[in-house]
Structure 1
């Protein structure tokens, strides 16, 4: 018997086996993946049917023969240093306990997300780490039905109670970035954020707005732009901002990629960074320390986030509940060379006579 992983025949075959055995599809999946929470009598009955249908012959060996089995890592996109850092953190955490990891990219397409879910029944999957914008009710139900424990990383909205997830302290990060620029003397500070409906974007804009309020500065809607955390759209938003009659002297970008788009826009308009425009990013990806000038940014411990999500999933696999289902890791302002007082000549002082701090590190708001 042959079948393509995740196709309709695979799903119907599992349903047929479940029907003959008088059990649920999730129980068949547990036996197929050698999970322990099935009675010996039921296991024997299902295994006979799996052998009869040729399933055990064509699928991967039981989990016990694969050391710790497999964890699914699902992410929207793979083509960025951001994704690499997230994958690295999960892989390191799982490697230490002998777990393998399968990486899938959905590219924001519902069809690919559906294909990934369909394929779960054909692999010895023990759990899943989901770095996707949102988990639909259908996807949540399917994971529950297949008895696959999971944790979310940086979800688009705060998940339902009881759903494990890991995020970052985005509001304090946005506050610290904006306060840094204000303390340098900037009064026209713009922000280029991610999608307006995302939890991370709203938190960072919230921190930005609070820092302005604390300093007695007005919140100007004209200086706020929402994008998609990528270089291209940020470049256009930065051009629009820098062409304003009363242009900003500083830009807080919601990601390091958006900061690079801002760098490009400034260069095309003949503006120097940081002398004519200060720029702060968010994430502290490796290239933030390679660009010229080196980028001041808010460090998000991406690898730590997915490592924590992996530990949550491992706890659930072991039958334990995590101490908390919501974890936010601390962000940290890293001051480099892309910020200085407004109008300051290279190596000089700003309007209030203060030089640009160059020390690595900084405080979280």
Structure 2
């Protein structure tokens, strides 16, 4: 016996396909009588949404990175796998100016997936995903082009963005972290230790998370009645080398900072290296705060004070959201922002 389609249900109920779709997705703009009739027919025909059939068959979803070069990516992967999805990890193979979520994972925040540094067109990752008949996609720290969104929507392939480069459109589900609050907490910690010459090294300014963290830093200084010195605000690439270069410049200033808030852990480790080269002990001569709380934060010397970004939980939550979409279940929220937390270790101390 052939499985009933939405067209079968619509014809039997005497309504349009969009009306049946609204009932399936829990929309509230369908009359109670029509809703009851459609639901009765869905049960009678034993209708199973396409997404649920895919999930039941163990279909694969793609976890798409721009590149894989960092422990940050490993944490996200671990969380997604914990969500129970059958995952294929893929990379567009693009190099670029750092990662989005503070990872230094090599993601290019400079442009959308599918365009290389030279601007030369590449085969669309979305087209490859549709061709491979994936059940859905998790896209990490990358922009979705309008063409990608149209193709995925037309092919009924759901997508969730993790740590978006820009605030995504309302119809694109996403999971991120409280970056502004993290930048605020990091800077307030340094202020409480007595520091007033506090520098910030953000990531690429085009990335949403980088801007939010630096904005949190600015807000903390404003609250303390301290003006932001433009000479103390630099931008790196969310990698060790970027932190090293920016910190070297900062420490060479006539009035150098006594503390640095780095936009991610990799840059923070670059700051500690710059201090070592300059003969400045951490934290005695320079306090350093990172962002992410990667495993390497504990292993560094001194152990790194940092803002914990719940990377694995972000992956898990996004995975569960995608599983709901694949199964045809409505989401409780389109935009989820998970809390960050300051973790104080040995790289920060009182101003001397």
TM range (shorter): 0.7 to 0.9
Structure 1 counterpart of 2:213: 204
Cα distance change of structure 1 residues 326 and 179 upon mapping to structure 2, 3 Å threshold: same
Cα distance change of structure 1 residues 65 and 280 upon mapping to structure 2, 3 Å threshold: closer
Distance in 2 separating the partners of 1:154 and 1:247: 33
Contact 2:136 2:157 (8 Å CA) reproduced: yes
Gaps of 5+ in 1: 1-34, 41-62, 344-365
Cα distance change of structure 1 residues 147 and 247 upon mapping to structure 2, 3 Å threshold: same
Structure 1 counterpart of 2:34: none
Distance in 2 separating the partners of 1:36 and 1:282: 51
**Higher RCO (C-alpha 8 Å, min separation 6):** 2
Q: Aligned match of 1:139 in 120, 129, 148?
A: 148
- 1:149 matched to 2:158? The reply is yes
Equivalenced residues, count = 285
State the Cα distance separating 1:121 from its structure 2 match.
3.3
State the Cα distance separating 1:110 from its structure 2 match.
2.3
State the Cα distance separating 1:66 from its structure 2 match.
8.0
Matches within 5 A, 1:77-226: 77-94=67-84, 99-106=85-92, 107=94, 108=108, 110=114, 114-226=123-235
Structure 2 counterpart of 1:43: none
The higher radius of gyration belongs to: 1
State the Cα distance separating 1:134 from its structure 2 match.
1.0
Normalising by structure 2, what TM-score?
Answer: 0.77
Structure 2 counterpart of 1:27: none
State the Cα distance separating 1:64 from its structure 2 match.
6.2
State the Cα distance separating 1:162 from its structure 2 match.
2.1
Q: CA RMSD in A?
A: 2.2
The SS at the match of 1:273 is coil
Matches within 5 A, 1:31-50: none
The C-alpha deviation readout for 1:152-206, integer Å capped at 9, x for no partner, is 0111111111210011001110000000000000010000001112111111111
Gaps of 5+ in 2: 9-52, 95-107, 117-121
Normalising by structure 1, what TM-score?
Answer: 0.74
Structure 2 counterpart of 1:350: none
